Structure 1
Amino acid sequence: MLKLGLIGKGISRSQSARLHVLLGRMCGIEVTYDYLDSEKIADFDLIGQLTVCAKDGYAGVNVTHPYKTEARKLIQRRKRLPEALGAVNTVVFREDGWRGDNTDYVGFMRGYRGQFGDQAPGTVLQMGAGGVGLAAAFGLHGLGADRILIHDKDADRGHELVATLKAGGANVAFIAEADLSDAIRNADGLINCTPVGMNQYPGSPIDAALLGGQKWAFDAVYTPVETAFLHSAQKAGLSVMTGFELFFFQGIEAFEVFSGAQIDGDAARIEYFNAYPEALTG
């Protein structure tokens, strides 16, 4: 049996359990996956909860908002994780110590290559500098983006991400509101890493009138899968990648880390949509 879990705050709507259980079934591994919600655990403490999980036989846990940054400070990173990437969303408990990974980062790159092949990202304008924005931006750097342009309504947070990316060697700049429209028009790729477009936050972070000259777009939102932003981007002739790809591949990457198995992404996609057809629409 492979005992897994998710640590986070307000995580009752997470779809991680059903993905990991399905991947286990594909590999002939019985998987249990528990939701360890800090809102429901008295006197919650991250290091304390991780210690309990390790003692209780968990192979590893996923870590989500708002504990990814704290987890990175506590846990030794796996070698493939850039040193400057200050967030961990996957923790593996090993006899020689705990190891941290960020499968949002590697999952974004795997999803991008699956969707766009060897197409270079070019110059990319990214909306949002939060947790998923951090992973996506480092993923862009890993994919060889020529230049990464960051915009966030919270300018301090945006500048912080820019500084972090520069420390990792990226060619990056912050884009202020006054320069945003021109940056969108001139970009090769557009990314939404804000909550705008989610079922509870309808709309698009980018004016559809600015779309048309770019090559590709990605929306980290996956509920719904087809967001207003991606609908407009596709209508304007852009190739698109949905937020489901990030959810799907970060989950596969995490399961591979936990189990040591290698997952066929195409086969897993078929199995997942057969089991959960509603995931196609979010």
Structure 2
Amino acid sequence: MQKLYAVLGDPIAHSMSPVMHNDLFGAYGIHAHYHPLLVKKETLQEAVTGLKAIGISGFNVTVPHKERIIPFLDYVDPLAAAIGAVNTVVNIEGKLQGYNTDGTGYVAGLQTVLSDFKDRRTLVIGAGGAARGIYFALAAAGVQQMDLCNRTAEKAELIKNECPYEVETNVYSKDMAEKVLSQYGLIIQTTPIGMSSAATDMPLSLQHLDSKTFVSDIIYNPLYSPFLLAAKNMGAEVQNGLPMFVYQGALAFELWTGIKPDTNRMKKLVLSHLGG
């Protein structure tokens, strides 16, 4: 019988996960199919119950469900529990087990282009599930100075205080972060701002950006968000969310199947579908 996999989110039409994972299933001879599922916040519990009832083999979780899904799972990996967010679920003998591959996937993608990231003062914009995963993974990798910028200071303070790794962190408002932007060697944008191809909004102004700063945005569709385009136009080196997307997907695929997939194949496939 064909195995079923999925990705839960809202919005979900932009996701390249079905393209990527269905190609991998074919490449490795696995009889399975991966579906995108639009799930509203108010129906998340019912959706998870239904997926468990039909015996889904595994699924990914994206915005806005990464934190909300935890109470509906049977087991949560300690790292995912510490982060407070799950992006990958595996069904083991009827028990739904949650993991977080966002942060480790981000670091894997970043170190392919930035070998000295551990030594750079870093600013993480946002305080949602992806931000927590990235912050924890970078702290675990040895980043010593990493500040947080979020419109709700309390959420950023929770990330700072709950991280099990030692890291020097300031929590800034948008206005404060904009004033000290030139101090950073690495800036990471983790919010959904700019996800729409028609979007023009940016999470903060880059007026004081140093052109030597490496600027990263976890959005991959569109390939260049307004934030990345602005940074690129100011001379900064940039990276979109495609490497993070590919590596977190590869880690999820390995959790589901035990197979380490070809990440170059995955990247080329997604790029071809995005017109890059």
Letter of the 1:179 counterpart: M
- Given that 2:8 and 2:36 are in contact with CA atoms closer than 8 Å, whether structure 1 keeps it comes out as yes
Name the CA shift for 1:78/1:156 in 2 (closer, same or farther; >3 Å).
closer
Residues 99-148 of structure 1: CA distance to partner in whole angstroms, max 9, x if unpaired? Answer: 21112122111111223245425211122112222222223213321111
Question: 1:164 corresponds to which residue?
Answer: 162
The yes-or-no answer on 1:77 pairing with 2:70 is no
Q: CA deviation at 1:96?
A: 7.9
Aligned partner of 2:257 among 256, 259, 279: 259
How many equivalent pairs are there? 273
Helix, strand or coil at the partner of 1:158: helix
Determine the structure 2 residue equivalent to 1:2. Answer: 3
TM-score, normalised via structure 2 length: 0.85
* C-alpha distance in structure 1 between counterparts of 2:206 and 2:179, whole Å: 14
Counterpart residue number, 2:185 = 188
- Give the C-alpha shift of residue 39 in structure 1: 4.1
Give the AA of the match of 1:188. G
For 1:115-264, what aligned pairs fall within 5 Å after superposition?
115-117=113-115, 119-120=117-118, 122-165=120-163, 167-198=164-195, 199-212=197-210, 214-264=212-262
Task: For 1:204 and 1:44, locate their aligned partners in 2 and report how far apart those are by CA, in whole Å.
Answer: 30
Correspondence for 1:113 among 101, 111, 114: 111
Q: CA RMSD in A?
A: 2.7
* Cα contact 1:83–1:168 (8 A) shared by 2: no
160 and 253 in structure 1: CA distance in 2 versus 1, 3 angstrom threshold: same
Q: Deviations over 1:180-234 (max 9, x none)?
A: 2343111111111223333243143343431225431101222321233323333
Q: Is contact 2:22-2:33 (8 Å) kept?
A: yes
SS in 1 for 2:219: coil
Structure 1 residues 67 and 178: alpha-carbon distance in aligned structure 2, compared to 1, 3 A threshold: closer
Please list every run of 5 or more consecutive structure 2 residues that lacks an aligned counterpart in the other structure. none
Alpha-carbon distance change, 49 to 125 in structure 1, aligned in 2, over 3 angstroms: same
State the 4+ residue runs in structure 1 displaced beyond 4 angstroms: none
**Percent identity at matched positions?**
26
The change in CA–CA distance for 1:75 and 1:66 in structure 2 (over 3 A counts) is farther
Letter in 1 for 2:183: N
What is the alpha-carbon distance in structure 2 between the residues aligned to residue 253 and residue 227 of structure 1? 25
Aligned to 1:54: 52
Mapped partners of 1:206, 1:66: distance in 2: 21
AA at the equivalent of 2:28: C
Give the counterpart letter for 1:135 in structure 2: G
> Structure 1 residue 235: deviation in Å?
4.1
Aligned to 2:170, what secondary structure does the other structure show? strand
1:75-109 CA-to-partner distances (Å, cap 9, x unmatched) read 42335x25421011111011284321112122111
Stretches of structure 1 lacking an aligned partner (at least 5 in a row): none
Contact 2:76–2:99 (Cα < 8 Å) also in 1: yes
SS in 2 for 1:7: strand
CA shift digits 1:152-182 (9 cap, x unpaired): 12223332333333x5544322013453234
For the structure 1 residues 182 and 195, does the alpha-carbon distance in structure 2 shift closer, same or farther, using more than 3 Å as the test? same
TM-score by length of 1: 0.84
Cα distance change on mapping 1:34 and 1:223 into 2, 3 Å = closer
SS in structure 2 of the partner of residue 125 of structure 1: strand
Q: 1:272 to 1:206 in 2, by over 3 A?
A: same
